[in-house]
Structure 1
Amino acid sequence: MARTTFEVEGARLDAATFAARHPAWVRDPAALRALVRTPRGLALPPLPAPPRDALFDPWRDAMLAIAAPRQELKLGSGPVKPKPDGSFAHGTAAFLPSSHWPVCGRCSTHLELCLQLAPSMVGPWLHRPGALVLMYCFACLPGSPETTYLRIVEPRTLATRPAGPTASSSHTSTTQTRGVTVLPPSWRVPDSMWFRYRLDGEDLGGAAAVLLGREEIVAETEGEDGEDEEVGTFDAYDEWAERFNARGRRGDGALGGYPNWEQDDATPACPACRAPMEHLLDWNGEQFLDGALHVFMCERTPACGKELEFVAEF
């Protein structure tokens, strides 16, 4: 078997010695899984076997322990007619508790519809009935609660956005309603960027904290020709994660799973219990440049009230 070594902790160690020093992948896998919303009543596929890799094989089972279910969302290409029991994005129509279309609390512009998810689609993730509606004011970036409409609603009344300017950050035309479909659930592990951002504010412990910290480690593996092959631990892990995650297709957003942070880990704390909130939704929908709108919720205690919070990245 090829021997892998890397310069770490002030010495050059082989993979077996390093794994003996750090037998855990992270200190508390359950704490990481608690950062991700878990669906109820949704049939999940069996947890797949992790890929084989000389560098990460000592932690294969432990790496699998932090995998989380995720359902990719796909934005359709053609116009659709919005329905109260449908899932759709963009456009000038939504089904709300009343015919009133929300306005920005900062500039009074009528908000733009990002997404409305049907109760049948989002219900397993919300753990309650209702449609999820997300609207945003792209004229008041980066956004705040007063510039966003984020609600779980009973979709009973057709509301129409009055004529006015639209200004999505990607300059995509959002005047046409487009359907949203959901793909079957799959299991996903976070990428190396998620670990680096998370490690900025929390010591996760274990081998991951060393191999995926801010400073990349270069691993050397003896090739078949006797020459050493070098690979950074970030790239090596992302290749491993991509092989694991490739079992599920990527979409324009997703329910569940770990957030795809572009700038830093901005997981909000629940206003009631102060614990980190659970990640519910990522949504780009061609409206947020290279970023996304990340939605979180919490119901750990009766006081939490299943509050919704959002973080916008552009």
Structure 2
Amino acid sequence: MVKIGNIELPDYPLLLAPMEDVSDPPFRRLCKLHGADLMYSEFISSEGLIRDAMKSRKKLDIFDYERPVGIQIFGGDEEAMALSAKIVETVEPDLVDINFGCPVKKVVCKGAGAGVLKDIDLMVRLTKAVVKSTHLPVTVKTRLGWDDDSINIDEVAERLQDVGVQALTIHARTRAQMYKGHSDWTHIERVKNNPRITMPIFGNGDIDSPQKALEYKNRFGLDGIMIGRAAIGYPWIFNEIKHYFETGELLAAPTIKDRVEAARNHLTWSMEWKGERVGIVEMRRHYTNYFKGIHGFKEYRQKLVTQDDGAILFKVFEEIEEAYADYQMT
């Protein structure tokens, strides 16, 4: 069993990564349904929360069926981070997570996300401010360092633990790599094997199959793994990994019916949470992933990304099920 504060997770838990414009309540609900053990909100600007920005406040929505769930915040100002953690507390998540890993320029330029990797003292001060301001467990997600010449994750892990961080997720790339190139989990393995480190250490980066998940589980000896991009349009990956861990066998690929059901549920929940118009528009980015690799699907994909009427979209789903009733997924 893995513990973060009072949160009890199964042995070697599978975490859903916080992804901007992806990890909203409808998507999290699907991933929970298919085996995710711990999930996080999209990252939320501390400044936005304090300004009462509507988009930031909306991201605070969590639901009991997705617990345990954490709210992730980012920022570069101690006072703002402390105050935003207090605001987060009001919606009663299970934990608060700090983002020190986002490599996107607009975040980094504000001295937040991966931008803080250049200043470990600031990272520690920001973390300490959050820990002091909340009774909730505080966790952190970060990267190996700014670039290959400044990998500082060993010092970061020790100092964050010293100020009260209760779990650390490490994306095994530097900020300079963005999402390109190979992740290097040997750095995370070294952190885990540090005798000073007692908090759970989770690895993130490039886990896209049950086989790789088991290989990395056995090879690096971490406390669990976080899955991000591989779950987009494919929430089944969590249960597929768990089944492979238990049996050494691969589950059959989700059928067309399974894919349609997931996309239909995702659309339904998106419309319920965001309103019909916004829910329909923001679902469009997901259809390519749900129906990836299906031959001759262009006509249906075009309908899915151009229709503005929910009732018509549900009819398109029925058409897809009928047209591909005998289609074999590989």
Query: What is the TM-score when the length of structure 1 is the normalising length?
Result: 0.26
Q: Of the two structures, which has the highest relative contact order with CA contacts closer than 8 Å and spacing of 6 or more?
A: 1
Computing the radius of gyration from Cα coordinates, the structure with the larger value is: 1
The structure with the greater share of residues assigned to strand is 1
The structure with the greater share of residues assigned to helix is 2
